[in-house]
């Protein structure tokens, strides 16, 4: 999956779990002032609408499937991959700007 956004090496991970996948981030990405990972944030917001505008994912984000009963990561589902690919296509076509914590998303003119 070469389309996953990557902004550099990842250190100790923090899990952001949704019903459909787990998004792993550098737990210090905000303190390190890593850039917003636009595509990962929009994926997260689509999978967890209650988080839209409340927070963003910054820096490198690694996506796995949800954990099984043994806490092992399952594969990413085709539905999540298709959702990400749709978000990436829309962002590329319409020049979507990075989301911010105040709920605005915007597009470029």
In-domain check, residue 88 = yes
Which residues, in sequence order, are CB contacts of 2 under 8 Å at separation 6+? none
Whether 109 is in a domain gets the answer no
| Residue 103 included in any domain | no
53 belongs to a structural domain: yes
- The answer to whether residue 81 sits within a structural domain is yes
Distance CA(22)–CA(56), nearest Å, equals: 15
Query: What is the extent of the structural domain holding 64?
Result: 13-94
Distance in angstroms (rounded) separating the CA atoms of residues 53 and 67? 26
* 2 within domain boundaries: no
Per-residue pLDDT of the chain (109 residues; tens, 9 = 90+): 333 444 444 445 788 999 999 999 988 888 888 888 999 999 999 999 999 989 999 999 999 999 888 888 999 999 999 999 999 999 888 887 777 665 555 444 3
| 6: three-class secondary structure by DSSP | coil
Place of tokens 């470029």: 108
Tokens of 29: 């990405």
Q: Is residue 46 part of a domain?
A: yes
Q: Count up the domains in the chain and report the number.
A: 1
Domain presence at residue 104: no
What is the pTM assigned to this prediction?
0.76
Question: CA geometry: angle at 58 spanning 24 and 99, to 5°?
Answer: 120
């Amino acid at each position: 999956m070469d389309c996953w956004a990557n902004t550099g090496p990842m250190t100790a991970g923090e899990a952001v779990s949704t019903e459909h996948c787990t998004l792993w981030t550098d737990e210090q990405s905000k303190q390190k002032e890593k850039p917003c990972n636009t595509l990962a944030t929009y994926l997260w917001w689509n999978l967890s609408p209650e988080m839209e505008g409340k927070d963003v994912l910054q820096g490198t984000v690694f996506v796995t499937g949800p954990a099984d009963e043994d806490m092992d990561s399952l594969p990413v589902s085709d539905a999540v991959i298709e959702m990400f690919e749709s978000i990436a296509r829309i962002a590329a076509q319409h020049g979507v700007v990075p989301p911010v914590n105040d709920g605005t998303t915007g597009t470029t003119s």
